Every structure is written in structure tokens, then in C-alpha cells.
Structure 1
């Protein structure tokens, strides 16, 4: 079970933008004029586009330097997360309810870098339901569909579960999330809590579209409908 983070579980956009501005200044010595829109993309892609649209010619060291600066800038603002951000309606109860299902491993598939994803969920007490070691993150330079398959491999390695399209579900809020699930052969529960409309999520190919996560029983029923139990296999 893989969850997108931003606008699916939490919304900390104000803090994220401030951290990006700080990181940009650290790396380039210049103020940030324009931040590339997220639109479900990984931090690595947002960083490159942000540098480009602000007139920075990138070199091999720009991405790792920016990721390190972004991690530090975000961590410095972690006490603002619950004040300036919010947990999405129903997210905690949905995580708790899915965690009660037999054989479920919950993690995240997110464009956010790992350290920041952990801080985002910790700020709202959501981290206890997630195994961050088997997730996929924004500093890993893979297309999201490939990153989903990487996460499946991590579950196999750590838990012995063979993951495929019959027992892997992505829950996210963007059409890009839906496209990643379709390409990777995973089931998709789309939540119309982000910038993609219900119609756009259905058109992208989501198996089930929910308006939000406020009905935990509805979320659990959707997961059960789309999956069969995980098979534990040796090796």
C-alpha cells in the first residue's frame, strides 16, 4: 500500500516554498524569483526546472547540493509544519484503518525527498503507520512508475512479500499518480483532494475515485476490492 504525501495525506505547501527559496539562495547565491510548479512531480525534476527558469546553468553538482540544502532548510522549519500546514481530512483515520488489514505494508511513493517526507508525516503523527524504508522518494531519479516497482522490490527484500498488480495499491491525488500506477501495473485509488479534478482522475484511468479520505470504511473497502492477499514467498 503506497501513499502519495502532498495533498493526499498533508498540505505543507507554504513551508515547502520557503524551504525551496532558502535552498535556492544557498546553492546559487541569488534570491528565488519563480518556483516550478509541483504537479505531482519529484523534487529532483522541480529542482532542475526551478534552476532553469531562474537562469541558472546547471552542472553535475547542482542536484545533490540542492537536495542537501533543501533537506536542511526544511528541517530548520519543521516546527512550523503543524502551524502553517494541515493534515488532509480523514488521512489519519484512513491510515489507521488500512493498517488493521491483515498482511498490509504501508509506505509512501512521493516526489518529496525522504527526509522531508518523514518530517511531514511526523508533524501530524502519521509516521507510526508507515514503513519509510520500503518507500520511493523524490531524490531517486526514476520515473514514478519505475519508482513504484523499486518500492515493490524493497517490500520483497524486507518482508518476503511478492508484490504485483494484484496486491499493490497506490493512493494519490494527481493524474500523474494515476499514470504511474497504470504504467507499473498497480491498482489506483485516486483522491480528489489535490489539483486534479474527479473527471481528470477518472480520465487518467483511476480504478476508484474518492472525494476525500473522510470515510475510512470506504477507503478500506476500496483497498479490499482492488487487492488479493499478499503471498509470502521465500527468497
Structure 2
């Protein structure tokens, strides 16, 4: 039997500070890419705060006195991919998987009819490297995710991911069967705008109260208890009858 025929639930994970923390390597890769593209050393790097790499690149150029031109974004993203790949050996040494991330991914994968992917501000190649470094890639279908090189607001990117999942699995994904799991107010806002459910995990820079106020359906302190994550996803995406 084809597994695609059984898929009825889409779970999208944010990457940075939800599943992994590799901020030291990321900063170094940005500095390298900036130098490659501009010929100048990076003085200031803007805060990520759940924003896509495409947005961070433009702001980083601006705060370092570089007037952005059309070719800057593709050149910078290519350089960022190369710089990050060159540092892949440092990820597991200098970064970490967020506590419980592996168990949570594994537990959610056992939910009947579930496909997991990512909705991240990180460009695709770097997202794959980040998760693979910690063995977190095994339960993730990267083909149907949304990534930071795509110049969309995160809410639109969520809908793009739903469309990719529909094209692959033949199922329409909407607010009734899609959950975003993320750590920032921006993640919560994106899910609400797109009409998806959201499980917020207070492992990033947003406080639990801020995540509640933004409209998160469920707020967890962390991913330590995979049963809590599974229960939240199952409750937010109740099964519906099969079409006859």
C-alpha cells in the first residue's frame, strides 16, 4: 500500500529554537556570505526573530550601509548556503537539538495519517543540514515544506506548503488538518492568518504569555514530554470521516 494514500494530517515545524539551536554557526556563515558578496566585513547582523533569510539579508545589507540591488539576494543566499555547508561539521559540536525534539518528532510520526515537514525562515539546504546534524531529519518530508529563500510572508508560505502537500499526497490541507509548531509570536501570527492551528513552544525568545496573547491554541513550556505534543496535535486535528 502506498503511504501517500493514508495521509490526512500535516504538521509543520519551525526549525530554529523549536527543534535546534545553531546560532553560533549561523552567525559565522552570515559573516562569511556577507564578505563574499560585498567584499566588506560584517559589522552588524540583524536579529532573526522568526523572520525568513530573504528578509534578514536585505536588512543586514541596509544596516551595514549597503544599497541593495536586484542581484544581491540570490548571490547572498547562494553564498549563505555554501558558507553554511562548509561549517556542517561544527553543527553538532557547537549547536544542540532542543531538548525533547527527537522524541517529539518520533512520537508525532506515529500518529495515524501524519506527514511532518518544516515551515522555516531558513533556506532549504541549511534547514536540511541543521536537522540532519542531529538526526532529526528522519521523520521530515522536506519536499512539502516552506523555506526562507521563498519571498513570501510566513502565512502565505504556510499555504504554499499545504499546496505542496496536496500535490504530493492528494489531500486538501486546511485549518482542520494542519498544525504549525513554533516558538515565536511570528509563528503564531502566521498560523492564525493562514487559518491553521498552532502549538507554541516557549523555547525561543517569546514568553508563554506573549504566545497565548498572540492566539496560540496550545502553549507548551518545551518538548520534554512527547505525549503532550501528540495530544495537542491530535486534539487540534480530529479525524474526519473518509469520503465514500
Q: TM-score range by the shorter chain?
A: over 0.9
| 1:179-218 CA-partner distances (Å, limit 9, x unpaired) | 0000000000000000000000001000000000000001
Q: Structure 1-normalised TM-score?
A: 0.98
Shift of 1:21: 0.1
Q: Which of 160, 164, 174 is the equivalent residue of 2:174?
A: 164
| 1:81-132 CA-partner distances (Å, limit 9, x unpaired) | 0000000000000000000011101000000000000000000001111000
Shift of 1:161: 1.5
* Counterpart Cα distance in 1 of 2:98 and 2:132: 14
Shift of 1:6: 0.1
Q: Which of 112, 115, 139 is the equivalent residue of 1:102?
A: 112
Tell me if 1:187 matches 2:194. no
| 1:49-87 CA-partner distances (Å, limit 9, x unpaired) | 000000001110000000000000000000000000000
| 1:120-154 CA-partner distances (Å, limit 9, x unpaired) | 00000011110000000000000000000000000
* Counterpart Cα distance in 2 of 1:230 and 1:172: 25
* Counterpart Cα distance in 2 of 1:24 and 1:150: 29
Shift of 1:162: 1.1
Tell me if 1:61 matches 2:71. yes
- Contact 1:179-1:204 within 8 A present in 2 as well: yes
Secondary structure in 2 matching 1:106: strand
Q: CA RMSD in A?
A: 1.0
Question: 2:53 matched to which residue of 1?
Answer: 43
Q: Number of matched residues?
A: 233
Question: 2:3 matched to which residue of 1?
Answer: none
Secondary structure in 2 matching 1:105: strand
Shift of 1:231: 7.6
Unpaired segments ≥5 residues, structure 1 = none
Could you say if the C-alpha distance between residues 189 and 138 of structure 1 is closer, same or farther in structure 2, counting changes exceeding 3 Å? same
Q: Which of structure 1's runs of 4+ aligned residues deviate more than 4 A?
A: 230-233
* Counterpart Cα distance in 1 of 2:241 and 2:58: 40
Q: Structure 2-normalised TM-score?
A: 0.94
Shift of 1:228: 2.4
Could you say if the C-alpha distance between residues 231 and 12 of structure 1 is closer, same or farther in structure 2, counting changes exceeding 3 Å? farther
| 1:14-73 CA-partner distances (Å, limit 9, x unpaired) | 000000000000000000000010010000000000000000011100000000000000
Question: 1:173 matched to which residue of 2?
Answer: 183
Tell me if 1:128 matches 2:138. yes
Question: 1:32 matched to which residue of 2?
Answer: 42
Tell me if 1:77 matches 2:105. no
